A and B are shown apart, each in its own frame.
Chain A
Amino acid sequence: MTTTEQRQIRVLIAKPGLDGHDRGAKVVARALRDSGMEVIYTGIRQTPEMIAEAALQEDVDVVGLSILSGAHMELFPRVVEALKARGVSDVVLFAGGIIPEEDVAALRALGFRGIFRPGASTQEIVEFVRASVEPRE
């Protein structure tokens, strides 16, 4: 039975940039949903401002970015900046897609707590999200 005061984990899954391949993002969204989370999916070709604004309005706990185009080192810092500009500083960030090993450290420094490269399982992502969301009212 659900209680009257349950706390739902809310996740935004977004695809910044111009690549239009969102199968991976959809699979992750689906896996998170199947583990009981509410997933806001915004579709492809999102600007950093659109992503940050959606994260703000939806008051999500977690933002996951999917990217295959290779533009992550350009776009991800801009997403982080756009979030900061809106005072959204307490969301957990993770990234998935084609991200070369040598970029991982830089993304971590930027605040990405989870980085999932090709081969990562959806289960890993689900567990990461669950573990990194601190209980909040």
Chain B
Amino acid sequence: MTVDELAEGVLRGDRRLLARAMTLVENRTPRGRHLLRLLYPHSGRAHTVGVTGSAGSGKSTLTGALTHELRRRGKTVGIIAVDPTSPFTSGAILGDRIRMQDLTGDHDVFMRSVATRGSLGGLSEAVADLMCVLDAAGKDVVIVETVGAGQDEVEVARTAQTTVLVLTPGTGDDIQAMKAGIMEIADILVVNKADLPGADTLLGHLRALLMLNRAEGWQVPVQRAIASREEGVVELADAIEQRRRFLETSGALETARRERARHQLLAAMRSALIRRAVGESEGVSRLEEAVERVASREIDPHTAAEELIEQVRER
């Protein structure tokens, strides 16, 4: 199958070819990059939504429930669910489908499980590319669900237009959220499992915290939800639509678009440079050699990096 045929398949909504295309893109192959080149001009229509929050906060369940609501509103949905790769074996168990089983029969929902992998390109870059594929395939809303609340997630969240941060009562999530600097990137805050004790305290706490932030522009809503019973999901879908309208009418969409373009371009340059300098097998040994020299303090990392890049220019 040629890359052109694959791209055509994605654009006309062939699910099998869409799945294949995502594999190529995820594996960072030259064919995957070629494919992105063809698809990128067709992307940019979808509203991209990041759902993040600590493990066990109910992100998958909430994403599933939100997707049901979006479907009731006639929107087609693409989902990218990220789970961690084991740093020891490079394997991963991707279990997000368990919470979204009933979406499987709906052909206007396409869900893909993605492992973080240890790729040189970085997770956020791979996810941004996968979102582009689902966007080009015509999905109205593309949701990316990340695990945890660390720097990686902040990066991933940054690739989405709207970031939903999911917190739960009684887990110290309010403090975690402040520590990780993740409050700043949240566009919508959801207190999930709101039937648990401490929900009102957390809601009050979050509202108080938000009063200190962002004086003008988008007002971050703080919502309650019980995702397992699909409670609060209508309100969440409303907030996402309001956010989209706000982005469109305030001009923020354009600013954010340029900001994301800059971010993605710099990330792509970084990986292209790394690929050229140390990508192929001979490059790997060059890298290992440099690692040894840096580790033994023979040379500092900056000079070693300059040397590796210089070799690219010479070739």
Interface segment, one of B92-100, B147-155, B177-185, B221-229: B92-100
Is B104 within 8 A of A58, CB to CB?
A: no
Which 5 pairs from chain A and chain B are nearest by CB?
Answer: A33-B91, A43-B98, A59-B19, A2-B118, A50-B104
Q: Which residues of B are in contact with A by a Cβ distance under 8 Å?
A: 15-16, 19-20, 22-24, 27-31, 85-86, 89-95, 97-98, 101, 104-105, 110-113, 115, 117-121, 271, 274-275, 279, 284, 287-288
Is A40 within 8 A of B20, CB to CB?
A: no
Sample of 26 A–B contacts (CB below 8 Å): A1-B284, A2-B119, A3-B284, A4-B121, A5-B29, A6-B119, A7-B27, A8-B117, A33-B92, A34-B86, A34-B89, A35-B89, A39-B93, A40-B97, A42-B97, A43-B95, A50-B104, A50-B105, A56-B16, A56-B19, A57-B19, A57-B111, A57-B112, A58-B94, A58-B112, A86-B16
Tell me the complex Cα distance, A88–B16, Å: 8
- CB of A57, distance to nearest CB on chain B (Å): 6
Tell me the complex Cα distance, A54–B96, Å: 12
A137 within 8 A of B: yes
Tell me the complex Cα distance, A61–B237, Å: 35
- Contacts A5-B279, A42-B98, A57-B104 known; list 5 others, CB within 8 Å: A1-B287, A37-B91, A38-B85, A59-B19, A137-B27
The residue of chain B having its C-beta at the shortest distance from the C-beta of A46 within the complex is: B101
Tell me the complex Cα distance, A84–B287, Å: 45
A32 within 8 A of B: yes
Tell me the complex Cα distance, A30–B91, Å: 9
A42-57 contacts to B (CB < 8 Å): 42-43, 46, 49-50, 53-54, 56-57
Tell me the complex Cα distance, A20–B113, Å: 23
With A37-B91, A57-B111, A86-B16 already in contact, the answer to whether A5 and B97 are too (CB < 8 A) is no
**Beta-carbon contacts of A20-37 to B below 8 Å, as 1s and 0s?**
000000000110111111
Tell me the complex Cα distance, A87–B105, Å: 16
In the complex, what residues of B have CB within 8 A of residue A29's CB?
93
Given A5, A36, A39, A54, which contacts B28 in the complex, CB threshold below 8 Å? Answer: A5
Tell me the complex Cα distance, A35–B89, Å: 6
Is A42 within 8 A of B101, CB to CB?
A: yes
- CB of B224, distance to nearest CB on chain A (Å): 27
In the complex, what residues of A have CB within 8 A of residue B112's CB?
57-58
Tell me the complex Cα distance, A56–B17, Å: 9
A116 within 8 A of B: no
Is A4 within 8 A of B115, CB to CB?
A: no
